[in-house]
Amino acid sequence: MIRWLLRAVVAAGLLGSAWVHYVVWQDWASETDVVGPLFLVNVVAGVVIAIAVLAWHHWLPALAAIGFGLATLGAYVLSLTTGFFGVSERFTSQAELWGVITEAACVIFALPLLRGRESTDR
């Protein structure tokens, strides 16, 4: 039961991050050369990994969720500090806050899914 709840929270985090990236892509990122397509990759990857986390009870989707969260947070930190492919952020919007929350949830709640036996999760 706990593992199923963890999977649901991770999937919600992935879908939340995908939604944030889609909204921001529509707002301004579609007009940028590199970051715009990367935002769309995040949208698709978030949805695909969320489905995998819910459907495939294996450690690989959990690892993918962690990688997704860390990579996205890392890119955001770069955009806040040194810039990321010409994009510099300031952490002023609600979308940025929700992005950080959802991506942190991907990492925090997927970590326990890497441990334990999956055969008892069904």
- The reply to whether 72 falls in a domain is yes
CA-based Rg of the chain, rounded to a whole angstrom?
15
Cα 105 to Cα 5: distance, rounded to the nearest angstrom: 13
Note whether residue 119 is domain-resident: no
Structural domain harbouring 13: 1-114
State percent of the chain over pLDDT 90.
54
Contacts of 6 (CB under 8 A, 6+ apart): 109, 110, 112, 113
122 inside domain: no
Mind listing the pLDDT tens digit for each residue in 30-78?
888 887 788 899 999 999 999 999 999 899 999 999 999 999 998 888 8
The reply to whether 120 falls in a domain is: no
Q: Is residue 19 part of a domain?
A: yes
The verdict on residue 97 lying in a domain is yes
Write down the residue that tokens 């955001």 correspond to: 76
Q: State how many domains the chain has.
A: 1
pLDDT(3) > 70: yes
Contact (CB, 8 A) for 11 and 47: no
Beta partners for 87? 84
State the pLDDT at residue 115.
79
